[in-house]
Structure 1
Amino acid sequence: MKAVSTFLLAATLACELIFPKAATAETGSSQLSEGSYAQPELPVGRRYLGYGRLFTNDLFGDKKDRWRTGSLTSSRVWGYHWNGTLPDRLGELLELRLQGQIITPSRLTRYVPSDRRYATAISLGLHSHAQWRGLEVSMGADIVVIGDQTGLSSFQRELHELVGADLPAAGILANQIGNTIRPTFVAEFGQDIQLENSNLRPFAEVRAGDETLVRIGADLTFGGGGGELLVRESVTGQRYRVLFNEEPRWNFIIGGDVAYVEDSVYLPDNIGVDLKNNRYRLRAGVNWQGATSSVFYGLTYLSEEFENQPEGQLVGSVRLKFEF
């Protein structure tokens, strides 16, 4: 029965990644969402607007199955309307965000005390997006559930059994980050600066909860488009589309950021592995938008997160959308 439930979960994730719901919301002549689902009861005038997601795994990067090894993030957005610009007040555009992630030591087959601990986390949160005095503001809160209680360690084990990959050793699972729940607050402030044939977007972020940090960075986008809502994925900093127009085009993205990390539930003080306070990320991506389908691939370098980590890592992020 457990194997059947794991297979169903894997099949559901695959469908989420590749095949969003067929119907889409429209504003004017531009299609502005990745999917349409049954709308819950919400205040009069508010309606479902769109859906986005991003799958990140080191299988698409350095292929070494370690540290920030995998995550899946998805967002669903409701609002009164979408005309290609953010509303003037927080609370009008609401985003329900769900994320699952798995963090591992560098080797799954043997417990090494000097490496980081195995950890799994599932978060569910409500966020809002608005514009204020020329800035784009994103603000929200998540409940982050951490530890074996998430069920993700069992899912990874059975998935690895299915594909013949290494299984997490008993010592690794016995020493994983324990069950806890962390309320988490996240806020980002950014500004779009239009350049010739490109768009520069510097931003600043604060996060408090599962990890407490401040971050500054920028993203540079080449190509057409505009009038879209993009949401930043927390592991890589890649931004994925939730509300978009379907103008056929190519986009090329480069970006990076630096962070000061005060503490992290995934690297606590009492495990003998010291947190590095300074982190940086470098990323690049390409997005192809066709008449009805789109593909995004991004590659991100993540610097070391703890003192004994010998090197950084490369992870890849993928979003596929096909409509027939």
Structure 2
Amino acid sequence: MRLIRRIWPLVAGLLVAAGVGSAVQAQDQVPQQQASFGRVTLGWGRFFYNDLLGDGHDRWQTGGYTVSILRGDRFDGHLPDRPGRILEYRLAASIIAPASLTSPEPDDRRYAGTLNLGVHTPWEWRGTELSLGADMVVTGPQTGVGRFQRWAHERLGLEEPEVLGNQIEDGFYPTLVAEAGHTLTLAGGRLRPFAELRAGDESLIRLGADLSFGQIGSDDLMVRDKTTGQRYRGAPGTYRQGVTLTLGGDVAHVFSSVYLPEGEAAQLRSDRYRLRAGLAWQGKKSSLFYGLTYLSPQFEQQAEGQVVGGLSLHVKF
């Protein structure tokens, strides 16, 4: 982690330089291409995660759902050479909870319901795959996430959450997210190291890599889930049937988190890591992805990590 703290200013500078460089490059483009530019829906991405699909518990990073709508003039399996040509409109909701919803330990983390609305743009510059986005993260009882969980538990006959009176407060957090990655072709697979910067609801620097075996997703436009780090398809590239195995991991240094405020019993753990594996299947009309992610403890009083399961399903009728 000491290495991350030393090199994160360099990574940040590279991300900013890449964005500035590609923006300058875009100004030099012949404007004829822009004249015919018209947006269409390129694809929909959906990703659901829950720890009941992983280690079977209902705690900490307990669940979330994200919908991504990709729009642009076209996507042929290659990212555009400048930002703004493709836009991802993202809507997400998530639940963070203590280990017990009825009688939490005094040093456990507080309940947090979140909503996330954002716009992201992916592009490629000199062989580097880039993504830059702006999100508005909304927290607290105003989101209605806690009320929804209570309603769902009542309908399913599960224990009702009694921790909603001790939620993370209402708030609005403008958040910037940037990622840079580069795909390397290996014998029988693809390796994609990446770096990520996040500043807002949580401020962190992350370094990691994703490894895949199989042709499914090789030229799809992939989107990364915030919590698990799993990548799911936002827009399809070349249609192929088959199976792809994915492996990945990353480490992060966290500077601040609104979900673990300073001065509370649950103290932010500055270093965290994730390990993940998944299997993607593509049939004639439908596709399915299921993955497992290990999340290391996120606060000092968290005695162990957790495993969450993720699911992405596309069905054509």
Q: TM-score, normalised by structure 1?
A: 0.85
- 1:241 aligns to 2:207 (yes or no): no
Contact 1:223 / 1:250 at 8 angstroms: preserved in 2?
Answer: yes
Match of 1:49 among 25, 33, 42: 42
Count of residues paired in the alignment:
280
Structure 2 residue aligned with 1:266: 259
CA–CA distance in structure 2, aligned partners of residues 144 and 229 of structure 1: 24
- 1:59 aligns to 2:52 (yes or no): yes
Match of 2:223 among 226, 231, 253: 231
Unaligned runs of at least 5 residues, structure 2: 1-35
CA–CA distance in structure 2, aligned partners of residues 97 and 323 of structure 1: 22
Code of the residue aligned with 1:90 in structure 2: it is P
Secondary structure of the structure 1 residue equivalent to 2:205: strand
After TM superposition, give the deviation of residue 46 of structure 1 in Å. 1.8
After TM superposition, give the deviation of residue 44 of structure 1 in Å. 5.1
Code of the residue aligned with 1:241 in structure 2: it is R
Contact 1:246 / 1:291 at 8 angstroms: preserved in 2?
Answer: no
Contact 2:131 / 2:180 at 8 angstroms: preserved in 1?
Answer: yes
Structure 1 residue aligned with 2:179: 188
- 1:283 aligns to 2:304 (yes or no): no
Structure 1 residue aligned with 2:8: none
Unaligned runs of at least 5 residues, structure 1: 1-42
After TM superposition, give the deviation of residue 317 of structure 1 in Å. 0.2
Contact 2:45 / 2:233 at 8 angstroms: preserved in 1?
Answer: yes
Q: What does residue range 1-324 of structure 1 map to in structure 2 within 5 Å?
A: 45-169=38-162, 172-225=163-216, 226-244=218-236, 245-324=238-317
CA–CA distance in structure 2, aligned partners of residues 308 and 284 of structure 1: 27
CA–CA distance in structure 2, aligned partners of residues 180 and 248 of structure 1: 44
CA–CA distance in structure 1, aligned partners of residues 144 and 79 of structure 2: 37
After TM superposition, give the deviation of residue 126 of structure 1 in Å. 0.4
After TM superposition, give the deviation of residue 83 of structure 1 in Å. 1.1
CA–CA distance in structure 1, aligned partners of residues 277 and 202 of structure 2: 24
Contact 1:137 / 1:189 at 8 angstroms: preserved in 2?
Answer: yes
Identity %: 52
Deviation per CA, 1:267-288, whole angstroms, max 9, x where unpaired? Answer: 0003221100000000000000
After TM superposition, give the deviation of residue 206 of structure 1 in Å. 0.3
Contact 2:46 / 2:313 at 8 angstroms: preserved in 1?
Answer: no
CA–CA distance in structure 1, aligned partners of residues 104 and 61 of structure 2: 17
Contact 1:246 / 1:290 at 8 angstroms: preserved in 2?
Answer: no
CA–CA distance in structure 2, aligned partners of residues 214 and 158 of structure 1: 36
Secondary structure of the structure 2 residue equivalent to 1:270: coil
Provide the aligned C-alpha RMSD in A: 1.0
In structure 2, relative to structure 1, the CA distance for the partners of 1:44 and 1:133 (3 Å cut) is closer
Code of the residue aligned with 2:221 in structure 1: it is L
Range with greater deviation from structure 2 (133-142 or 106-115): 106-115
Secondary structure of the structure 1 residue equivalent to 2:147: helix
Moved over 4 A (4+): none
After TM superposition, give the deviation of residue 112 of structure 1 in Å. 2.5
Contact 1:75 / 1:98 at 8 angstroms: preserved in 2?
Answer: yes
Contact 2:108 / 2:265 at 8 angstroms: preserved in 1?
Answer: no
After TM superposition, give the deviation of residue 111 of structure 1 in Å. 3.6
CA–CA distance in structure 1, aligned partners of residues 65 and 309 of structure 2: 12
After TM superposition, give the deviation of residue 323 of structure 1 in Å. 1.8
